[in-house]
Every structure is written in C-alpha cells, then in structure tokens.
A and B are shown apart, each in its own frame.
Chain A
C-alpha cells in the first residue's frame, strides 16, 4: 500500500483554504495547513511535505518570502512549490517563477487544472 503524499497548503483565506483542503483530501492526499507565511515555513521545516501550495498575500511573511526561505534551506529546497494567487499581473507571475515557484495558478482557479498540476508536480522527477 502506497503512502499518501503530503501537501502543505499555506493560505490565509479560510474559504479558499477549506476548498483546497477538501479537493486534495478527496483525491487521497494528506493535507497540512498554514494560515500565514511564518506558520508555513515552520510547518514545512518540521513536516517536510512533498509539495507546498502557497498563496502570495499572507500575514507576517508573504508567499515570496516563503519561497525564498524554502529555496535557501538545504532540507527544503527541492520541495516543489505551486503558487495559488489572485495576482494575475505578468510581473507577479514572473517574480514568482524567478523566486523558485514550479507552477503558478491564478484565482479564481479551475479545480481540475489545479489537481492535474499538483499530480504532475508530485511525479518523480526525471534526472
């Protein structure tokens, strides 16, 4: 029996958070939640998730800071990160990728597209 992949959802909006958690749990993933950037980094460090889904606008530390912290931490730097944000400007998206995001999805989002990208990011990476 395979072990469920663990996904950390960092999202301050409770409605979106519950929707994403429900969507991922329904697909058999183990989901951890963080309501702000600070909590997201702490949870990522202790729980070592297989994927992080992060909002950009969050209290205490924003999504870019979360990305920077993850990419500069030896233990976390290889964890794929999917940004799920309302910010749809080209500069925000480019900045997200430059800071190390693997995927960027703009809200309101298509749930099926989101799940397929999550699945893709959780696939074993080719050498």
Chain B
C-alpha cells in the first residue's frame, strides 16, 4: 500500500518535472530563436534596403547571390514589413524581390493548403505583396468555405488592384448574405478610380442591393468621369436608384449636375426629392434657390429638412431666401426656415442687431416677429434672460408675447 503511494507520488513529481523541463526548454528555444532572428535581421535588413533604394534588377547580388534556407523567414518578414509602408518604385522593387525569392509561390501554395488560418495568412501576404499573378487564385478564394479566408482574399484583391481584381469584388456585392456589403464597398472605394468603369459596366447585371452599393461607391470616390452616367440614372424606373444617384452626384459635387438635380426636386418619389435637395446644397447651386424654397413646402419632412440645409449651405443668398420664407403662408415651410435660421446662428445675430437702429434694427425686428408668429419662442426666451446686452434683452422682451415673457421671467 505504502509502496503504491510512493510510486504514485514519484510519478506525479516526474510528470511535473517533465512538464517544467518542456516549458523551460520551449521558452529558451523561442528566446534563442527570436534573438537569432533579430541578429540576422540586423545583418540582412540593411542589405535589402540598399537594394530597395538602388537600381539593381535583382535582389540576389545584395544578399550575396542566394539566401540560406534558415534566413528565409527573416527575409520574408523584412520584405513584408517594408513593402506595406512605402509606395512608388521602392514598393515595386520590394514586391519584385518577394516574387524573385519564391515567397509569392509559397504563399500561393499555402492558399491551397488544408488549414484555414494558413490560407487566410497566405491571402493576406499575397495582398501585401501586391502579387498581380495571384489575382485569379485570390478571386477563387472568395468562395472559400471559411469567412475569414474570404474576407482576407477580398482585402488582398483590393491591394492587388487591376481590372481582374475588381470584377470578383463587384460580383461579391450581389451576395449580401455571404458578404458584408459595407466591407466590400470599403475595399472597392479604397481601390479608387480603377473601379469606376467596372461598376458602370456591371451595373445592369447587378441585383437591387448591389446597384445601390455601386452608386454609393461612385459617390464616395468622387468619380468625376461617372457624372454623365449618374445623371442618366436619375431617369431609372427604380426610385431607390434615382435617389442614390442624386446622393452620389451631391457627394461628387459637380455644378454641371445642378439642372438635372433641380428637375429631380419634383420627382414623384420623396426619397429622390430629399436626396436631390441635399445634393443641390452640396453643389452650391444658387439658381436652385427658388426651387429649394418650393421644396420647403414639400409634404415630406426629409425633403423640407434637406432643402433648408441646402439653402443654408448656399451662403448669404440662401440665408436671405430662408428669411424670406418666414413670411410664407405654409406653416411647415415657415417652421423649417425658423429651425435652420436658428441653427445657422442667424436668429442670434438678428437679435443682437435689436440694440442698433435704422434699417438693420427694422429688419431684425421683422425677423424676430416672424419667429414669434411661428411660435418658435424657445431661443428667444433664452436670449431675453441671458443675452449680455441689457438693451437687447429689453427689446426681445418687448417683442415676445406676454405669456412667453412670463415663462422667460420664470
């Protein structure tokens, strides 16, 4: 009995000892390996950077003709670290070195590997290496069963660029259940001008979801060359397409689009009218001021709000128009004009002018009275009690109705 106990205790102690030795050896090995890698990096990095800044066609002479098998990981790390930090010729030279030294081939082999994390890592590295010849394999990886691999392949295609990389990403927009549209749209947006033609060409074949995403992307990358095409989308039978096209035109901000956007202010669908109003504000179209004043009477709140915002963005002529709308018979239009004038600080400025005299004071009194008539009293009440100028406070109190004055005093 006692012997069995001793054997058990010794066995447990032996297991613990073995585990401790294993952990300590593992840690020592990792530290030794890291130290060795750092030492090799100190030797190899200056050689690689010398090649990068130079004009030699091949990286091999800089590395003494070949790289030892044991140095491959260090060289790969150095190249990948630097290639993601630079653009231009240096970037191209580092990419060429990655290909020349066989790293791109190894990443491609890993992309076909059985472990998903290996495939994901390989896709990421191919993107960093801007490996154009990996485009078709990366496009194929967009159908990988593991979402992480698909996403890294999509990001890699975004970094690789080129027509062949754009098309699979555009197609991915049509599968919102499989992909996060926002992520794919971000990748396509990051690719810039090279996606414009592909998006326009693919548009008729896209589903409704992807069409809207495509229009947003064109707006986000400020695709000037897409303006005529976007203008023609304002005649699309689908109201969501018309609305997003108007939004994209506003984001691009081309004044040439203004006449068509003015026409879109009378569209039968309110989202189109709302986006057209917003876009007209962004393109600073002064000729649209009468039409935007008309849009302040729209039956839909979003249209009125965007029209008021657009008038504010039009500068002094727009502000003047908003003040003019205070006299309008449409209560909704007057209310929206009040809100925007208050938001733009015009009410505060007009109230300050009550301390003056002559025409400015008369104009200020007229604006403040219109606010009172519209029942927009909250800011006036605040100014009646908190304005720094006693003359102004008194003038506001005179213009406020008795009931509001009591409220302000309280």
- The chain A residues found within 8 Å of chain B, CB to CB, are 15-16, 18-19, 22-23, 26, 107-113
Contact check, B85 vs A23: say whether CB atoms are below 8 A apart: no
Q: How far is the CB of B394 from chain A (nearest CB, A)?
A: 41
Q: How far is the CB of B44 from chain A (nearest CB, A)?
A: 12
Contacts of A26 in B (CB 8 A): 50, 53
Q: Given the complex of chains A and B, what is the CA–CA distance between A33 and B28 in angstroms? A: 32
B45 close to chain A: CB less than 8 A: yes
Number of interface residues of B (CB under 8 A): 15
Contacts of A107 in B (CB 8 A): 85
Q: Given the complex of chains A and B, what is the CA–CA distance between A16 and B81 in angstroms? A: 9
- B289-322 toward A: CB 8 Å interface, digit per residue (1/0)? 0000000000000000000000000000000000
Contacts of B50 in A (CB 8 A): 22, 26
Of B45, B84, B87, B89, the contact of A18 (CB 8 Å cutoff):
B45
Q: Given the complex of chains A and B, what is the CA–CA distance between A110 and B86 in angstroms? A: 6
Contacts of B89 in A (CB 8 A): 110-112
Q: How far is the CB of A65 from chain B (nearest CB, A)?
A: 24
Q: Nearest 5 A-B pairs (CB), nearest first?
A: A110-B88, A22-B49, A111-B90, A15-B81, A110-B87
A sample of 13 cross-chain residue pairs with beta-carbon separation below 8 angstroms, ordered by A number, consists of A15-B82, A15-B85, A19-B85, A22-B50, A108-B91, A109-B86, A110-B88, A110-B89, A110-B90, A111-B53, A111-B89, A111-B90, A112-B89
Q: How far is the CB of A117 from chain B (nearest CB, A)?
A: 13
Contacts of B88 in A (CB 8 A): 110-113
Q: How far is the CB of B355 from chain A (nearest CB, A)?
A: 35
Most buried by A among B50, B53, B84: B53
Contacts of A113 in B (CB 8 A): 88
Of all chain B residues, the one with the shortest Cβ separation from A21 is B49
Contacts of A22 in B (CB 8 A): 46, 49-50, 53
Contact check, A109 vs B49: say whether CB atoms are below 8 A apart: no
Contact check, A19 vs B86: say whether CB atoms are below 8 A apart: yes
Contact check, B87 vs A109: say whether CB atoms are below 8 A apart: yes
Q: How far is the CB of A53 from chain B (nearest CB, A)?
A: 14
- Helix, strand, loop or mixed for chain A's interface? helix
- Extra pairs beyond A26-B53, A109-B86 (4, CB < 8 Å): A23-B53, A111-B53, A111-B88, A112-B89
Of all chain A residues, the one with the shortest Cβ separation from B91 is A108
Q: Given the complex of chains A and B, what is the CA–CA distance between A23 and B88 in angstroms? A: 14
Q: Given the complex of chains A and B, what is the CA–CA distance between A111 and B88 in angstroms? A: 7
Contacts of B45 in A (CB 8 A): 18
Q: How far is the CB of A17 from chain B (nearest CB, A)?
A: 10
Most buried by B among A16, A109, A111: A111
Contacts of A111 in B (CB 8 A): 53, 86, 88-90
Q: Given the complex of chains A and B, what is the CA–CA distance between A16 and B85 in angstroms? A: 7
Of A18, A108, A112, the contact of B49 (CB 8 Å cutoff):
A18
Q: How far is the CB of B358 from chain A (nearest CB, A)?
A: 39
Q: Given the complex of chains A and B, what is the CA–CA distance between A103 and B46 in angstroms? A: 27
Q: Which residues B134-160 have CB closer than 8 A to chain A? A: none
Contact check, A108 vs B86: say whether CB atoms are below 8 A apart: yes
Of all chain A residues, the one with the shortest Cβ separation from B54 is A26
Q: Given the complex of chains A and B, what is the CA–CA distance between A112 and B90 in angstroms? A: 8
Of all chain B residues, the one with the shortest Cβ separation from A106 is B87
Q: Given the complex of chains A and B, what is the CA–CA distance between A18 and B45 in angstroms? A: 9
Q: Given the complex of chains A and B, what is the CA–CA distance between A15 and B88 in angstroms? A: 18
Q: How far is the CB of B226 from chain A (nearest CB, A)?
A: 23
- B68-95 toward A: CB 8 Å interface, digit per residue (1/0)? 0000000000000110111111110000
Contact check, B87 vs A19: say whether CB atoms are below 8 A apart: no
Contacts of B82 in A (CB 8 A): 15, 19
Q: Given the complex of chains A and B, what is the CA–CA distance between A110 and B320 in angstroms? A: 48
Q: How far is the CB of B339 from chain A (nearest CB, A)?
A: 27
Q: Given the complex of chains A and B, what is the CA–CA distance between A109 and B82 in angstroms? A: 11
Of all chain B residues, the one with the shortest Cβ separation from A14 is B81
Contacts of A109 in B (CB 8 A): 85-87
Contacts of A23 in B (CB 8 A): 49, 53
Q: How far is the CB of B158 from chain A (nearest CB, A)?
A: 14
Of all chain A residues, the one with the shortest Cβ separation from B80 is A15
Contacts of A16 in B (CB 8 A): 85
Contacts of A18 in B (CB 8 A): 45, 49
Q: Given the complex of chains A and B, what is the CA–CA distance between A92 and B56 in angstroms? A: 38
Contacts of A112 in B (CB 8 A): 88-90
